[in-house]
Amino acid sequence: MDCAEFQRRLGTDPNALDADMRAHASGCAHCTRALAQAQALERRLVDALHVPVPADLVARVLAASRVDLEAVPAVAPPARIASAQAGVRPLRRARRRQGAWLALAAAAVLVVALGLTHWRANANSLPALAIAHVVAPDEHDALGLKTPLPRADVEATFAARGVHLVAAPPADVAYVAKCAIGGTPIVHMVMPESGGPVSVMYVPGARERASESLRRDDLVARAVPMERGALVMVAREDRAFGAIENAWRNAIEGPQGAAIGEQ
């Protein structure tokens, strides 16, 4: 092995030293230094890549998953169909019966497939994702906040998501943060209403065709389409949803549905 080959393999994986590499390093001061430097960098690299993991990650994943898990039945192992039929049936009758079974099986598969498709669409819908986000343990504290935030904080958070509010946002926003649901960046807010706190999420770029509601875990969620996104509201009751939707439509789209200043 020459120095070039040693360096190439060292750069590919400094931890995978075979006998040839060790033998070469033992007789080459230059490559011995290179080995020490590479291994030092590797140790730093390991440290640097190990970013701290949020302490409640496992609890959060399990809690947020629970909504979804309860909606998904455990997949039962395929049932074995007993095929032992005593005696010999006439061919036509057997074929007719086989056809009937096939038709029945096809219908069952169709029903299951349609059900799964519906469930998957439902599980990934904005209301479902919003509820999963709200019930995460680290979101609980936000629901207890009542002091209104400065308007500038709300505007700045929207701006960070590429949305410029064209009118004043509702004054009673007690919590605002850049979050993500289903991998999509959102603005997450909490508005303390008389009937309890309402979590409000604006999802820039979301393409909702129509309003969609979901009731789950004693919560009701409603997603409403907006010009360039969607607004999702989650609360124990939906009494305030209409007023909140109007207020945010006014702030984001303007009183007359004016052009939005989204970037």
Partner 1 sequence: MTEDASQRGETRSTGSADNRRRQFETLVQAHSAELYRHAYWLCGQDALAQDLVQETFLRAWRSLDALRDAAASKAWLATILRREHARLYERKPMPSTDIDELELHDEAPGPDGRGENAALRAAIARLEPKYREPLVLQVLGGFSCAEIAQQLEISESAVMTQVFRARQKLKELLDGDGKEVAHGLR
Residues found near partner 1 in the complex (CB under 8 A): 8, 11-14, 38, 41-42, 44-54, 57-58, 60-62, 64-65, 68-69, 72, 74-77, 123, 132, 160-162, 178-185, 204-205, 263
CB of 106 to partner 1, least distance (A): 22
Residue in 46, 38, 43 with CA at minimum distance from that of residue 12:
38
CB of 258 to partner 1, least distance (A): 22
Contact criterion met (CB below 8 Å) for 204 and 229: yes
Rounded-to-integer distance, Cα 231 and Cα 257, Å: 15
Residue in 206, 214, 224 with CA at minimum distance from that of residue 262:
206
What is the token pair recorded at 72?
């998904």
Listing DSSP states for 23-73 in one string gives HHHHT-HHHHHHHHHHHHHHHHHHHHH-PPPPTTHHHHHHHHHHHHHHHSP
CA atoms within 13 A of residue 112's CA, in its CB half-sphere? 11
| Nearest CB to partner 1, comparing residues 50 and 92 | 50
| Nearest CB to partner 1, comparing residues 72 and 111 | 72
CB of 142 to partner 1, least distance (A): 13
CB of 37 to partner 1, least distance (A): 9
CB of 191 to partner 1, least distance (A): 20
| Nearest CB to partner 1, comparing residues 34 and 240 | 34
175-181 and 196-204 strand pairing: unpaired
| Nearest CB to partner 1, comparing residues 148 and 162 | 162
3-state secondary structure of 110: helix
3-state secondary structure of 168: coil
| Nearest CB to partner 1, comparing residues 98 and 124 | 124
CB of 96 to partner 1, least distance (A): 27
Handedness of CA 242, 247, 250, 252 (dihedral sign): negative
| Nearest CB to partner 1, comparing residues 123 and 245 | 123
CB of 205 to partner 1, least distance (A): 5
Q: How far is the CA of 31 from the CAs of 1, 17, 123, 138, 209, in angstroms? A: 11, 12, 56, 51, 63
| Nearest CB to partner 1, comparing residues 1 and 123 | 123
